[in-house]
């Protein structure tokens, strides 16, 4: 034991913490400019090892800053079933990250004591990384941390974030969820996809074609690996494949969602389906252009609606009495919520931003469909729901229609990466649903019409001055800000607006929607001015759009 602490002490000096640097485990782990992160990575290696010793399961550590610019990096910890690390351990992560060099051992020992960790237990940690130039050395720092505490490493190298979540879950379920290899991942998902699509009659080559923007990141690399498995049913035209452009620069899911325009490198052809991944391929959005050249975005809300409608129909056909709920955040377009509640009659609930919050809410239902508007989401099937579906598939006494629906449900379960939002798995599911239901991207888009909306960012000196409540829909501090927002919202029809501090970038996010784009833009701008004025804005006042 003493020898391990000695090793941590010696090795931590090779990954020194810049004095005074304070960081917080945010919406999805630590994020910042890569040059500030070496000590964080080493320490997250230590923490993952402790988490593994405590849970007696393999833990994952993913080195990525997802949608952030290429110069940034970050780290996300993955719990045994492939979910985000437990919130109580986020607090330890922050404590460990911020301990000055000479108090690191003290901080480590206090976590060991608080959690009653037996250091003689073995520990296993899976590590993965995205394609950022800084990721290789930062993931080596994670490895150093794990090894310092005597943990064993399996380094998957370049993988998408959801692939690493999948591997962790496969390993800890003793391969019940699948085999913990990339080959196993592609096999499982592609077989389910082919089962779902290969009997769909009369699909033309046009219908099988999909333009994929890989954001110049890991998603593009992994699409190339997947493509041979699904070629017969999906023709992927890959752009922003990383051969030239910069990661996330003028491309990727976040750019397309926020800018509401096509990424660089993708030329829109009328009616052609296109989609964009983000930098670590855990988000996806779709889009197309119509005959008038107008751009149409199909975001996480539209994806949730498509998938939940499909599942609800299958449940009716299969005569299975399972409850579906859709989990959203404050960013969900008001039209989507109204459609889901009033027309689809499904339960809708709203949580704070961050997949961990949506994931936990979705676990409460037989089938929980969760998507953030930014395209991050998946579907969770409870154990009981899964069992009912499998039993129905095997039931010899049911008619063909029920059997067919049960089979489709079984393959849908297999196609979905239930551990976390996964752009590759979501893409195949969306493609399968569109094919089975004979829908074009326009048909999908016309399920409901989005309220025009706008997202902006405001830089303030300390974004923590903004505190929110009611699933981030209302600001509690600074005083007067919510009253100002309420007064502004009243000026516009069908309007709504909120502000919240980002957990991944040093900005305050502003969201507004209204009955016209002009009104949504004006409202977003006016709310930005209120934030700038009341929450310590830095630099010039936000300009009108």
- Residue 165 touching ligand G16 (CB under 6 A): no
Q: How far is the CB of 64 from ligand G16 (least distance, A)?
A: 7
For ligand G16, the binding residue among 69, 265, 503, 536 (CB under 6 A) is: 503
Q: What is the size of the binding site for ligand G16 (CB under 6 A)? A: 18
100 annotated among ligand-binding-site residues:
no
Closest Cα partner for 276 from 375, 349, 190? 375
Least Å from the CB of residue 378 to ligand G16 = 12
Q: Is 446 a catalytic residue?
A: no
Q: Is residue 406 annotated as involved in ligand binding?
A: no
Q: Phi then psi for 327, rounded to 5 degrees?
A: -105, 130
Taking CA atoms, 15 is separated from 64, 124, 133, 138, in Å, by 18, 21, 18, 10
Among 142, 181, 176, 159, residue whose Cα is nearest residue 51:
142
- If one asks whether residue 66 binds ligand G16 (CB under 6 A), the answer comes out as yes
Please, what is the minimum distance in Å from the beta carbon of residue 74 to ligand G16?
8
Inter-residue contact 225 to 251 (CB < 8 Å)? no
Sign of torsion over alpha carbons 318, 390, 161, 214: negative
Please indicate if the annotation marks 462 as binding a ligand: no
Q: Tell me the three state secondary structure of residue 446.
A: coil
Instruction: Say whether 278 counts as a known binding-site residue.
Output: yes
Please select the residue that binds ligand G16; options are 374, 411, 519, 528, rule is CB under 6 A.
374
The answer to whether 103 is a known ligand-binding residue is no
Q: Is 144 annotated as a binding residue?
A: no
For the CB of residue 285, give the shortest distance to ligand G16 in the complex, in Å: 12
339-346 contacts, C-beta under 8 A, 24 or more apart: 339/305, 339/447, 339/448, 340/304, 340/305, 340/308, 343/448, 344/305, 344/308, 344/309, 344/312, 346/308, 346/312
Q: Determine the Cα–Cα distance for residues 331 and 511; give it in Å rounded to an integer.
A: 7
170 vs 285, which CB is nearer to ligand G16? 285
**67 belongs to the binding site for ligand G16 (CB under 6 A):** yes
**504 labelled binding-site residue:** yes
From the list 19, 431, 28, 500, the residue with the least C-alpha distance to 208 is 431
Tell me which of 66, 335, 519, 528 is the catalytic residue: 66
Q: Binding to ligand G16 by residue 328, rule CB under 6 A?
A: no
From first CA to last CA, the distance across the chain in angstroms is: 60
* DSSP sequence for 421-434: --HHHHHHHHHHHH
CB of 373 to ligand G16, least distance (A): 9
Would you count residue 419 as binding ligand G16 (CB under 6 A)? no
Residue 278 interacts with ligand G16 (CB under 6 A): yes or no: yes
Please report whether residue 353 would count as binding ligand G16 according to CB under 6 A: yes
Q: In what order do the strands lie in the sheet with 284-289?
A: 235-239, 209-213, 274-277, 284-289, 295-298
Candidate segments 216-224, 349-357, 378-386, 428-436, binder of ligand G16 by CB under 6 A: 349-357
Find the part of the chain contacting ligand G16 (CB under 6 A) among 139-147, 196-204, 269-277, 347-355.
347-355
Smallest CA-to-CA distance from 124 within 140, 143, 139, 105 is with 143
Question: How far is 42 from 40, CA to CA, in rounded Å?
Answer: 6
Give yes or no for residue 372 binding ligand G16 (CB under 6 A).
yes
Residue 468 marked ligand-binding: no
> In the numeric block, which tokens belong to residue 49?
């090892």
Determine contact, residues 351/329, Cβ cutoff 8 Å: yes
Residue in 213, 422, 505, 521 binding ligand G16, rule: CB under 6 A: 505
Q: How far is the CB of 327 from ligand G16 (least distance, A)?
A: 12
Q: Is residue 509 within the footprint of ligand G16 (CB under 6 A)?
A: yes
Q: Give the nearer residue to ligand G16 in terms of CB position, either 440 or 502.
A: 502
499 binds ligand G16 (CB under 6 A): no
Out of 112, 170, 303, 355, name the contact with ligand G16 by CB under 6 A. 355
Q: Which is nearer to ligand G16, 144 or 513 (CB)?
A: 513
The residues annotated with a catalytic role in the active site are: 66
Which residue ranges make up the site for ligand G16 (CB under 6 A)?
27-28, 66-67, 278, 282-283, 353-355, 372, 374, 376, 502-505, 509
Binding residues: 66, 278, 280, 282, 372-374, 500-504, 509
């Amino acid at each position: 034991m003493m020898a391990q602490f000695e090793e941590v002490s010696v090795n931590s000096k090779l990954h020194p913490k810049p004095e005074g640097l304070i960081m917080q485990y945010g919406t999805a782990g630590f994020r910042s400019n890569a040059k500030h992160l070496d000590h964080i990575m080493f320490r997250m290696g230590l923490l993952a090892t402790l988490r593994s010793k405590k849970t007696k399961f393999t833990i994952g550590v993913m080195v990525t800053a997802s949608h952030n610019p290429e110069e940034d990096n970050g780290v996300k910890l993955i719990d045994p079933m492939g979910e985000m690390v437990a919130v109580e351990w986020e607090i330890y992560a922050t404590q460990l990250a911020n301990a000055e060099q000479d108090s690191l051992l003290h901080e480590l020992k206090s976590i060991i004591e608080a959690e009653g960790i037996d250091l003689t237990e073995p520990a296993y940690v899976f590590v993965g990384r995205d394609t950022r130039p800084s990721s290789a050395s930062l993931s080596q720092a994670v490895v150093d941390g794990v090894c310092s505490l005597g943990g064993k490493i399996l380094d998957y190298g370049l993988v998408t974030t959801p692939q690493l979540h999948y591997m962790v879950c496969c390993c800890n379920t003793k391969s019940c969820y699948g085999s913990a290899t990339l080959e196993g991942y592609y096999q499982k998902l592609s077989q389910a996809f082919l089962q779902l699509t290969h009997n769909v009659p009369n699909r033309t080559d046009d219908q099988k074609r999909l333009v994929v923007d890989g954001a110049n990141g890991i998603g593009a690399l992994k699409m190339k690996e997947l493509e041979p498995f699904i070629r017969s049913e999906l023709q992927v035209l890959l752009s922003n494949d990383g051969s030239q452009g910069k990661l996330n620069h003028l491309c990727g899911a976040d750019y397309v969602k926020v800018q509401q325009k096509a990424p660089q490198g993708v030329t829109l052809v009328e009616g052609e389906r296109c989609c964009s991944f983000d930098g670590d391929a855990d988000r996806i959005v779709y889009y197309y252009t119509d005959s008038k050249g107008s751009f149409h975005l199909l975001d996480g809300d539209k994806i949730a609606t498509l998938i939940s409608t499909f599942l609800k129909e299958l449940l009716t056909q299969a005569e299975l009495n399972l409850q579906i709920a859709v989990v959203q955040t404050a960013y969900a377009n008001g039209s989507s919520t109204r459609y889901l509640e009033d027309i689809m009659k499904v339960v809708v609930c709203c949580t704070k931003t961050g997949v961990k919050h949506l994931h936990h809410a979705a676990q409460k239902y037989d089938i929980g469909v969760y998507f953030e508007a930014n395209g991050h989401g998946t579907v969770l099937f409870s154990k009981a729901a899964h069992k009912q579906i499998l039993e129905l598939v095997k039931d010899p006494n049911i008619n063909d229609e029920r059997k067919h629906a049960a089979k489709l449900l079984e393959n849908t379960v297999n196609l979905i990466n239930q551990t976390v939002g996964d752009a590759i798995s979501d893409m195949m599911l969306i493609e399968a649903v569109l094919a089975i239901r004979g829908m074009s991207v326009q048909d999908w888009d016309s399920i409901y019409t989005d309220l025009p909306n706008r997202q902006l960012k405001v830089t303030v000196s300390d974004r923590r001055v903004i505190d929110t409540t009611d699933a981030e829909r209302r600001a509690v501090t600074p005083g007067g800000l919510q009253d100002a927002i309420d007064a502004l919202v009243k000026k516009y029809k069908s309007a709504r607006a909120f502000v919240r501090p980002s957990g991944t970038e040093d900005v305050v996010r502003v969201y507004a929607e209204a009955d016209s784009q002009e009104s949504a833009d004006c409202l977003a701008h006016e709310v930005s001015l209120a934030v700038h004025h009341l929450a310590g804005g830095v630099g010039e006042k936000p300009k009108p759009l």
